Amino acid sequence: MEPPLHRLLLVFLLLTLLPIPSLADETPEPAEDPFLRHQRYQAALEIEIGLRLFDEGDDYRAITALKRHRLLSADPAADHLTFLIIAEIYRRNAYGDLAMRHFWDAGLTGQALDPLHGITAYHLGTQELCASLRAYAGCHPYLVDLEASYRDHGHPEGAELARFHQRFVEFLLNAHADEPPSFSDPRLQRAALELEERRALLDDLPTRSPALAGVLSALLPGAGQVYNGRWTDAALAFGFTGLFAAAAVYSHFGLESLPLTILSGTLTAGFYSGNITNAIIDARRRNATLYEDFYEALHEDLWPRHTFRIIDGEVEYDYDFDWPGHATPEADPEPPPLPGML
């Protein structure tokens, strides 16, 4: 049965009114610039090489690869990661000032990604100012600001770590706080209590009085060195001073030689005054060594080291009390072949 005529007309009208897609009207997507595609590939290659060299301890070439990655990427995330790793390389090679500056640069670039990334990286730089450069008076105000910034951005763990670092620096500056330590983190709480216990050990260090050492050496050459525990220096001071004093007496009364008396007397006076000076300086040096050893042990045992790790391209921050010091990794004398690093 044939369709009615009016239905055929209706279908014809619909076909004429509906737009028919044309291939000429479609705009093809522009092809990707080959140079930009190669630039992205080269940037990914450089960061992979840089991280591999960083893990292997080939620090110089790692820094070079990371800087190339930063220039090729032109991205805040690349800047942040590059500054972090280069700063860690300088830290483990005992360049505290360069590590501090690069950590702070990582803090500035991290602000564009996440304020907490910027704050934690800035904390790493401040840690170098305190723990590596030992500028305690200068780093304390920064720690106070860090604690406030952590709290403003809802990060109580970071605020506690910054507050403990404040207490540690206050201990070294002899600015004792009256209130007892209180930290929700049990590791920080235990370290804070032990820090208070070591205050008594600091007061009981067996130091020597430089003034008393000098007076003893003035009364009897070598006595100040004995007081300082330097028996060899005491024997030398007593022996040479006594020897030249006896020579002066013999030259005057036995030989009746004025030139020899003057010469031996001058040598006696020189050894006698040097004996006094040596006792004073040695007492000060001994005290400085005692304090340096005490503070070094304090850093190794009770300074919570702020650290970061890179896991699947993401930066994670943490802290621990395992203070490894400045270890210089041993690099291979011959560079590994490029395919082996990819």
- The amino acid that residue 159 corresponds to is A
- Burial class of residue 89 (count of CB atoms within 10 Å of its CB; 0-12, 13-18, 19+): buried
Q: What's the pTM?
A: 0.71
Length, in residues, of the chain: 342
Contact 301, 321 (CB under 8 A): yes
Give the pLDDT of residue 100.
92
Which residues pair with residue 315 across a beta bridge? 310
Q: Give the residue carrying structure tokens 């100012």.
A: 129
Q: What is the pLDDT along the chain (342 residues), one digit of tens a residue?
A: 455 655 555 555 555 555 555 545 555 556 566 777 777 777 788 888 888 888 888 888 888 888 888 888 877 788 888 899 999 999 988 898 999 999 999 998 888 888 888 899 999 999 999 988 888 888 999 999 999 999 999 999 999 999 999 999 988 887 666 666 788 988 999 988 888 888 878 878 888 999 999 999 888 888 998 999 889 888 888 888 888 788 888 777 877 778 888 888 888 888 888 889 999 999 999 999 998 888 888 888 889 998 888 777 678 888 888 755 433 444 444 444 433 333
Nearest to 319, CA basis, from 212, 196, 205, 159: 159
